Structure 1
Amino acid sequence: MPATPPGKPFTASEDPYALVRTRRYAGLLVMAALLGVPVSAVAFGFLALVSELQSLTYTELPRAMGFEETPSWWPVPLLGAAGLLVGLTVRRLPGRGGHRPAEGLVSTGAPAPADLPGIALAALLSLGVGAVLGPEAPLIALGGGLAVWAAGRVKRDLAPEGRALVGASGSFAAVSALLGSPLLGAFLLMEVSGLAGPMLGVVLVPGLLSAGIGALIFTGLGSWTGLGTYSLSLGEVPPAAAPGFAGFGWALVLGVAAAFAGAGIRRLSLALQERVERRTVVATAVMGLVIGGLALVYAETSGKAASEVLYSGEHDLGHLLSGSAEYSVGALVLLIVCKSLAYCASLSCFRGGPVFPAMFVGAAAGIALSHLPGLHLTAGFAMGIGAMCVAMLRLPMTSVLLATLLLGREGLTVMPLVIVAVVVAYVVTLRLTPAPVDRAGPKAV
């Protein structure tokens, strides 16, 4: 009896493990392992190129034009020009630059080979100049698309379920080290795909194999090139206090607040997306000017770097925690407002992923609230990350793991608080989400 393709319901009479017992599945495991090497190398190269573009546009180019330091107004024209190019890429190239980040992380399968250049170009233009998005969504698409394309060149009669497994494995390899652990990337993709039951193991095994190999490749290339692994990590983490009643009370507050904040960001970004798509090129350039303007306002008002509003925030999380004493409550509130609005504008038209900016906004909110009685700094930081992630992504398991594994040993101490905050934020988020409209109309009785 043929195995059920991933994502397709199966009846009790079908054997969901039939595919695993076949020689074809063993061949797919070998193919997933082999493809994990080039796919992870391409992903590493993509992240290295993004990093070089960021350095070129915000450090080297201003110096070449005679500025000793990057002017605070610099992001405004730069993001406006980048928005124009992203808009042209989305409008003219196949694939429209990949998935629209305002709609969250969604499982759409591996993109067609013709779509890959547009996805890569739109993401490089977005991330390289400071759009408030992360690289995870483009990497998932590029990893899956490249893996399916390469597998098709090797085995042209690959069955649909085989292509699905290979595509998932390529995505696992591409994000294997990005979140700090191959396991975190696996949980992210598992929850995004919505797989459950026996089929989860069928798809997860080759994915984990590719992720493990990908992480090794990332580590090896990072050491060989001296560029690092581009993996999410923190520096020194302040000791966490044991959870108490006050901490659990703050978990409820943070969970509810994150749900409402996430709902606001999501609805505003979707409303902006609807308007942007009417005139993609011009409107994307305008959104770029808006993002640059918000960075300028923050820099001139707070006296801090405009870059704190730009980018995904992945590399600023460590400084935000270790240097929290450098920020007044007013500066943190201004940072949260400017970063959130720039996040909305980026989600509406640029191309990238929504994970890291959500983490940064939640972390900043948790640190700001830690100035109030009863909330410890490290606990507020972790709960803010978990609650805001689940509010934006609706992936509860991934959100808990992101917030706790990132903190190392201290994450285990605050894990109960993070779980409460994530669960509360998840439930309230679902309650705030409008029910799907049945467009088919009333059914005949």
Structure 2
Amino acid sequence: MNPGNPKKPEAPGDAPPPADPLAPLRTRAYAVLLILTAVLGVPLAAGAFGFLQLTGHLQHWLYSSLPVALGFHTAPVWWPLPVLALAGIVVGACIRYLPGTSGHEPAEGFKMTGAPGGAELPGIAVAAIVSIGFGAVIGPEAPLVALGGGAAALVIRLLKPAADARTVSVVGAAGSFAAISTLLGSPLTGAFLLMEASGLSGATLEIALLPGLVASGIGALIFVGLGSWTGLGAVSLTIAHPPHASSPTAAEFGWALVLGVGCALFGFALRRCALTLRRPVPRARLWLTPVAGLAVAGLAIAYAEGTGHAASDVLFSGQSGLSPLIANSAGYSVGALVLLLACKGLAYSVSMAAFRGGPVFPSLFLGGAAGLMLSHAAGLSEAAGVAMGIGAMSVAMLGLPMTSVLLAALLLGGAGLTSLPLVIVAVVVSHVLSVRLAAPHPAPAAPAPTPVRSGAP
């Protein structure tokens, strides 16, 4: 006991000082974690680059090289039918027989559900490669997030078997960041997508964000470097030659309201259709998935026969089709764009119900097509229509408003930034209406019992 420095007795109501939520950032273990995620970013980004190149070359081989090799001048109109039926057989078998569920259900939207186990990764990879490569209307972002996160979590479990759940979660998230680092046009867009979808905030977000940003930056360098070294080119959704944009006008703010409402209603219909079609699939997946593939092929054939445009407009995720659609917009009449929206929208719903992949890319394509369609009307420029359509449709399908605004701004470059005020209006309107439409209806209240009078006979 030190009488010169008497200890003040604690009052009964005194509470201990609050723990510092940022204390993990000051530890040596966290610095080691940052280095580990930077190192992991290299192979994970290279694997994601290979995944995207594989699916792209598979699409070209199946729909261009193989028909020619079999003696056709070009792919016959019926060609998508056997290709997508075979895709349904393979994907259905993966989901039924391989460990896990071969990825999450795309009909449920883009979700961050944690890194999958190592045993689930083969099923996720095969189902996604076949779904995307064979022509289903589904995107690559969700499988890449799952594969990147699962591979990173598997590595940390092997290197540090005693790692706690929080460390595994942070490393898994960093792997997901690396896997989609430049797929959406910029590492920043992918970071926004994952942060907003995860729902993290405050100090927890900061602790998880820094390793993710490090892995994402390293991954972006790998994507660019591999595209140059291999001669295969970069893999990104960024629109190569966006239309010219001028300052927003009062009429275009009115069109922002129209696009916001229209995309919310269209997105609600597509989600409801996908969820309805999905209900019987788990009970008979082995034959309903091939039927879904035939339905997607039939919609693509109907569009090609009805418009004279390529069936590829309806098939695939839209990742590589959005730039050509915008560049050749003069060749698409209003009627052709309406039929494109109807056929690709239905194919999108069917694909989400039965195949495996992500919901982001087809929503961007549909939004861009909707904006092009409305730009035929007076008072709406092509650039503003495409930018607002991309933002409004993506938020209707994903429910992520910040990411949707950023997607429209970055994918269109300067045109997107010029149209940003219009995009914000369209996204807000679409998001608010989508939330209202998706709200569960309260069950009707039970009628109150009739009071019994005392003394009644």
TM-based fold match above 0.5: yes
1:74 maps to what in 2? Answer: 79
Distance in structure 1 (CA, Å) of the matches to 2:23 and 2:260: 42
State which drifts further: 287-296 or 155-164: 155-164
Asked if 1:102 corresponds to 2:107, the answer is yes
1:421 maps to what in 2? Answer: 426
Deviation at 1:437, TM superposition (A): 7.7
Q: 1:159-170 counterparts in 2 under 5 A?
A: 159-170=164-175
Deviation at 1:374, TM superposition (A): 1.2
* Cα distance change, pair 437–103 in 1 and its aligned pair in 2 (3 A): farther
1:245 maps to what in 2? Answer: 250
2:41 maps to what in 1? Answer: 36
1:300 maps to what in 2? Answer: 305
Larger Cα Rg: Structure 1 or Structure 2? Answer: 2
TM norm structure 1:
0.94
**Structure 1 residue runs without a partner (length 5+):** 1-10, 439-445
**Which amino acid letter does the alignment assign opposite residue 329 of structure 1?**
V
Which one of the candidate residues 136, 141, 145 is aligned to 1:140?
A: 145
Does the CA-based 8 Å contact 2:121-2:147 persist in structure 1? yes
Asked if 1:53 corresponds to 2:58, the answer is yes
Deviation at 1:76, TM superposition (A): 1.2
1:377 maps to what in 2? Answer: 382
1:8 maps to what in 2? Answer: none
1:171 maps to what in 2? Answer: 176
1:205 maps to what in 2? Answer: 210
**Which amino acid letter does the alignment assign opposite residue 78 of structure 1?**
V
Distance in structure 2 (CA, Å) of the matches to 1:198 and 1:437: 36
Which one of the candidate residues 7, 11, 21 is aligned to 2:26?
A: 21
* Cα distance change, pair 117–179 in 1 and its aligned pair in 2 (3 A): same
Which one of the candidate residues 280, 290, 295 is aligned to 2:295?
A: 290
Deviation at 1:285, TM superposition (A): 0.5
Deviation at 1:287, TM superposition (A): 0.4
Distance in structure 1 (CA, Å) of the matches to 2:100 and 2:287: 19
State the Cα deviation string for residues 315-360 of structure 1 (Å, max 9, x = none).
1111111211100000000001000000000000101111110001
1:340 maps to what in 2? Answer: 345
Which one of the candidate residues 95, 106, 125 is aligned to 1:90?
A: 95
Distance in structure 2 (CA, Å) of the matches to 1:50 and 1:238: 28
Distance in structure 2 (CA, Å) of the matches to 1:363 and 1:421: 13
State which drifts further: 65-74 or 110-119: 65-74
Distance in structure 1 (CA, Å) of the matches to 2:220 and 2:149: 16
Distance in structure 1 (CA, Å) of the matches to 2:153 and 2:234: 25
* Cα distance change, pair 237–12 in 1 and its aligned pair in 2 (3 A): farther
* Cα distance change, pair 155–279 in 1 and its aligned pair in 2 (3 A): same
Q: How many residue pairs align between the two structures?
A: 429
State which drifts further: 176-185 or 150-159: 150-159
Distance in structure 2 (CA, Å) of the matches to 1:144 and 1:220: 22
Q: Percent identity?
A: 57
**Which amino acid letter does the alignment assign opposite residue 322 of structure 1?**
A
Distance in structure 1 (CA, Å) of the matches to 2:207 and 2:76: 53
1:229 maps to what in 2? Answer: 234
2:118 maps to what in 1? Answer: 113
Distance in structure 2 (CA, Å) of the matches to 1:134 and 1:228: 19
State the Cα deviation string for residues 183-208 of structure 1 (Å, max 9, x = none).
00000000110111222111111100
Deviation at 1:435, TM superposition (A): 2.9
2:354 maps to what in 1? Answer: 349
Distance in structure 2 (CA, Å) of the matches to 1:245 and 1:195: 37
2:455 maps to what in 1? Answer: none
Distance in structure 1 (CA, Å) of the matches to 2:159 and 2:259: 51
Does the CA-based 8 Å contact 1:98-1:138 persist in structure 2? yes
Distance in structure 1 (CA, Å) of the matches to 2:53 and 2:328: 26
Deviation at 1:14, TM superposition (A): 3.2
**Which amino acid letter does the alignment assign opposite residue 400 of structure 1?**
V
Q: 1:120-135 counterparts in 2 under 5 A?
A: 120-135=125-140
Deviation at 1:373, TM superposition (A): 1.2
**Which amino acid letter does the alignment assign opposite residue 262 of structure 2?**
A
Does the CA-based 8 Å contact 1:72-1:305 persist in structure 2? no
Asked if 1:368 corresponds to 2:369, the answer is no
Q: Partner of 2:279: helix, strand, or coil?
A: helix
Which one of the candidate residues 278, 287, 290 is aligned to 2:283?
A: 278
State the Cα deviation string for residues 213-267 of structure 1 (Å, max 9, x = none).
0010111111111111211121222211211111111101110111111110001
Does the CA-based 8 Å contact 1:404-1:412 persist in structure 2? yes
1:395 maps to what in 2? Answer: 400
State which drifts further: 191-200 or 254-263: 191-200
Q: Partner of 2:23: helix, strand, or coil?
A: coil
Does the CA-based 8 Å contact 1:239-1:410 persist in structure 2? yes
**Which amino acid letter does the alignment assign opposite residue 386 of structure 2?**
F
Which one of the candidate residues 316, 332, 335 is aligned to 1:311?
A: 316
* RMSD (Å) for aligned C-alpha atoms: 1.5
State the Cα deviation string for residues 154-180 of structure 1 (Å, max 9, x = none).
111111111011000000000001011
Does the CA-based 8 Å contact 1:39-1:173 persist in structure 2? yes
